[in-house]
Amino acid sequence: MPRQKPTTTIDVVGNLDLRPEQAVGDYRASRQQDKYFVKPPNWDSAGDSVELLYIQNLRENDAMRELQQEMLQNAKRQSQVSNQRIRKMYKMQERLRKRFIEVNSFFKDCADKKRAADKVIQQERALHVELNKGIDSFKSSIAVLKAFRTDLQATVSEFQPYECVLEDIVKVSDIFVSPKDCIDRCDALMLAQVEISQVQSQKVEEIEQMRQRMVQVTSKAALTVLGLKNDLGRLERSYNQARQMCLQWETILSSCKDVIANNNLDKERSIDCLVTLYKMLCKRRDIKPSLRTYEMPLILDFIKRELSLWNDVIREIEAAPETNKGDGVVLEGALC
């Protein structure tokens, strides 16, 4: 409960409200104020006791038991009614299933009968169409036969006078036996003429085909000859080009041969000069030449050594003082 005058002092341990001499007065003052404490309505009336609460709960329990009993009875009655309805529903379902099976079988029979009837109708319609076609063809044949009959009667009436002529011809002629034989032979001649005309047209067509083949073969041969002429022209041009190239290479090879021959000649001359020089050096040193011409490297080495010796001698002579020039000239003359 809030206090009007809250405590401000604290003891040693830290607990509050340890002022018993002022606690009762503070409590009364706090009970009389309305700022920090609101009194509920009927705060001074006595509340419900435990006995009243027990009686009230007991009454509610009895009422709930009665309601539960009624609900159980209603549930039993409803379950019985539901069971009866379920049995009726099962019976009705079984009856409807049987009826459905009967109706379905009836529908199937009707569908089968309908398909069979449609098939028979289609067959009858096809037969009717065929019969109509046959009737139309027969009618057209009858009309053609009627027209042929009228034409035949007209022809017979027209050629009736010629029958006597044919009989006279058969009597006079020894070739024909009867008028029918004469007519047959005439028909045979006409058929032979037709066959001859057919064979003639066939042969004419064959001749035309042969002519066309000859034209084709001739054109192909002409094209082949033209192609061969073109190939021959190309070969001739290539031959001329190759000939010109050969002439050029011939001139080049001739010049190369001349150069090679000149080089060989110069080589031989150089070898002869070197051999001669070698012999002169050997003669100067009173040595018999022991090397042959094919041993040119050894000859060159010998000449090189001799030339190096001469160079050394010339350097020594050039290094001598001018006072000894006369002696040097004498020595040079002696060396020469």
pLDDT (tens digit per residue) in 64-119: 999 999 999 999 999 999 999 999 999 999 999 999 999 999 999 999 999 999 99
In which residue ranges of the chain is pLDDT below 70? 1-20, 23, 30-31, 33-49, 321-336
Residue type, 257: K
The answer to whether the beta carbons of residues 166 and 182 sit under 8 Å apart is yes
Q: How many CA atoms lie within 13 A of 272 on its CB side?
A: 6
pLDDT at 326: 52
Task: State the pLDDT at residue 63.
Answer: 93
The two tokens of residue 303 are: 């000449």
DSSP state of 42: T
Q: At what angle do helices 179-284 and 296-319 cross, to 10 degrees?
A: 40
Quote the DSSP letter at residue 219. H
pLDDT at 47: 62
Query: Rounded to an integer, what distance in angstroms lies between the CA atom of residue 255 and that of residue 186?
Result: 101
pLDDT at 118: 92
- Token code pair at residue 91: 């019976």
Tell me, rounded to whole angstroms, the distance of Cα 110 from its chain centroid.
55
Q: Are 282 and 288 in contact (CB under 8 A)?
A: yes
- Whole-number Å distance between alpha carbons of 229 and 246: 25
The model's pTM is: 0.28
pLDDT at position 33, please?
Answer: 66
Looking at residue 321, what is its pLDDT?
61
Give the HSE-up count for residue 165: Cα atoms under 13 Å, Cβ half-sphere: 5
pLDDT of residue 334: 44
At residue 187, φ and ψ (nearest 5 deg) are: -60, -40
Which of 333, 307, 308, 312 has the alpha carbon at shortest distance from 325?
333
Query: Which pLDDT score, from 0 to 100, does residue 13 have?
Result: 46
